[in-house]
Amino acid sequence: MALTDTAIRKAKARAKSYKLTDGAGLYLEVMPNGARYWRMRYRYAGKDTRLAFGVYPEVTLAEARHRRDKARAAIRDGRDPSADRKAERRRAKLSAAITFEGIAREWLASQRKKLTTATYDKATRMLEANVFPWLGTRPIADIDAPELLAVLKRIEARGAHETAHRVKARIGQVFRYAIAHGTATRDPSADLRGALAPVVSRSHAAVTDPAQVGDLLRALDSYSGQFATRCALRLAPLVFARPGELRHAEWSEFDLDAAEWRIPAHKMKMREAHVVPLSQQAVTILRELEPLTGRGRYLFPSLRSPQEPMSENTVNAALRRLGFDKDTMTGHGFRAMASTRLNEMGWAPDVIERQLAHAERNKVRAAYNRAQYMAERVKMMAAWADYLDNLRVGAKVIPIKRKST
């Protein structure tokens, strides 16, 4: 006869264990100490096997029958329920061991050759500061959209809306990597579309008026802090490279006799090697700097460790010290300054854009237009340095418009 809860509760312990049968292989084993264990006996591949379902009353009679029926269904489908359970336990153990931080660091390692050094470092710091403290130890497969949103809202709460969107994008990349490698089944960040406040796009602050450019250049020359920082400030407007490219500049990339700075592809945003023709003024600054840092790797090493480049905040901090707030001038603003003035001076837009290492927006044109305009770029960089010298001394400069070539 089928078991009842009353019969189970009245079952007394005996000197030896005994069984109370419910049917279809399910039975309750009553132990000498009074404990009651649910078991199921079944036959699979010609062998008698037992399956444990837990302890009564923690596992009720109804639940034990449900587990029995589920096991019998597996047998009908040609599966061994005991093997299924072992596999499920292995998956659960593996899931618990595969944390978000572990997978994120795997993804970062896989991107090291694809990202510029500056971008890689920024992505690492972004995850370490904004995500790992809250989600780092969580099994990646268990993380859901509300958990992600809570992390992102914490970033928004401090007013860093653009950072929140960037973090969300990085999290999505980590989850897509996990899906590709079988450690997650979906990307919950995709469910957060529209959940964050939109970012108001702002251009990098830059000084572009000729008279104000002259004031800026004189201020840079007056900087009284670290000599290497002073050199970086004076070199920045002459080469107008991206801040990350400048601070990661290595002496091995420079040929001062040939007046060239060759930046390898892995350091460039567009992943293409880039040449910066050096004006005589730029070469002079570098020769002044060489005795100080030329024996090391970086032009502008960190004060804490010569093996690391200077901080990404060094140039901006120096500008603040000179009286230029973040709404007036930034390290990235030297690029906007050069682009604006060079276009006003009449240099061909293609030459300017190539020197800025911007990607061609027209993909068809990009496929065919591989011109480097090197001769024009050399002339332009020399003329640009002379133009800045004139602004520095306060001369009234009326640039002659050049015809595009």
Tens of pLDDT, residue by residue over 48-91, are 889 999 999 999 999 999 999 999 999 898 889 888 888 877 76
Residue 160 sits in the same domain as residue 239: no
Q: Indicate the burial class of 159 (C-beta count within 10 angstroms; 0-12, 13-18, 19 or more).
A: exposed
By the 8 A CB rule, do 183 and 103 touch?
Answer: yes
- Check if 274 is active-site: no
Confidence of residue 118 (pLDDT cuts 50, 70, 90): confident
Residue 113 sits in the same domain as residue 242: no
By the 8 A CB rule, do 286 and 258 touch?
Answer: no
For the chain, report the end-to-end CA distance as a whole number of angstroms.
99
- Check if 234 is active-site: no
**What residue numbers bound the domain in which 145 lies?**
100-192
Helix axes 100-111, 161-180, angle to 10 degrees: 90
Checking 292-296 for CB contacts under 8 A at 24+ apart, the result is 292/227, 292/228, 293/228, 293/251, 294/251, 296/251
Mean of all residue pLDDT scores within the chain:
88
Beta bridge pairs of residue 375 = none
- Residue 2 pLDDT: 86
- Residue 364 pLDDT: 45
Confidence of residue 149 (pLDDT cuts 50, 70, 90): very high
| Mean pLDDT value of segment 176-192 | 92
268-277 pLDDT, tens digit per residue, is 877 788 999 9
Residue 332 sits in the same domain as residue 241: yes
- Residue 97 pLDDT: 63
- Examine residue 249 and state whether it is found in any structural domain, yes or no: yes
- Single out the catalytic residue among 153, 218, 358, 365: 358
- Check if 89 is active-site: no
- Check if 242 is active-site: yes
Residue 164 sits in the same domain as residue 254: no
pLDDT(403) > 60: no
291-326 pLDDT, tens digit per residue, is 999 999 999 999 888 889 998 889 999 999 999 988
Residue 131 sits in the same domain as residue 260: no
Nearest CA to 310 among 405, 244, 403? Answer: 244
- Examine residue 198 and state whether it is found in any structural domain, yes or no: no
Residue 74 sits in the same domain as residue 178: no
- Examine residue 314 and state whether it is found in any structural domain, yes or no: yes
- Residue 232 pLDDT: 95
- Single out the catalytic residue among 269, 320, 392, 402: 269
Q: Which one of 125, 157, 192 terminates a domain?
A: 192
Structure-model confidence comparison of residues 322 and 118, the more confident one: 322
Checking 391-400 for CB contacts under 8 A at 24+ apart, the result is 391/210, 391/211, 391/213, 391/214, 391/217, 392/214, 392/217, 392/218, 392/221, 393/214, 394/214, 397/210, 399/344, 399/345, 399/346, 400/345, 400/346
- Single out the catalytic residue among 168, 230, 242, 341: 242
- Check if 335 is active-site: yes
3-state secondary structure of 38: strand
- Single out the catalytic residue among 332, 341, 354, 377: 332
pLDDT(400) > 60: no
Q: Which two tokens stand for residue 82?
A: 């005991």
List the CATH number of the domain containing 47: 3.30.160.390
By the 8 A CB rule, do 376 and 279 touch?
Answer: no
- Single out the catalytic residue among 47, 76, 202, 368: 368
Confidence of residue 202 (pLDDT cuts 50, 70, 90): low
- Single out the catalytic residue among 68, 230, 248, 335: 335
pLDDT(41) > 80: yes
List the CATH number of the domain containing 321: 1.10.443.10
Phi, psi at residue 305, to the nearest 5°? -150, 120
Confidence of residue 92 (pLDDT cuts 50, 70, 90): low
Residue 69 sits in the same domain as residue 145: no
Domain total in the chain: 3
User: By mean pLDDT, which of 85-94, 179-188, 231-240 is the weakest?
Assistant: 85-94
- Residue 100 pLDDT: 93
Residue 352 sits in the same domain as residue 273: yes
- Examine residue 401 and state whether it is found in any structural domain, yes or no: no
- Check if 358 is active-site: yes
Beta bridge pairs of residue 23 = 26
* 12, containing H or E segment: none
Residue 243 sits in the same domain as residue 173: no
Nearest CA to 286 among 344, 246, 322, 324? Answer: 246
- Examine residue 95 and state whether it is found in any structural domain, yes or no: no
3-state secondary structure of 49: strand
Residue 264 sits in the same domain as residue 299: yes
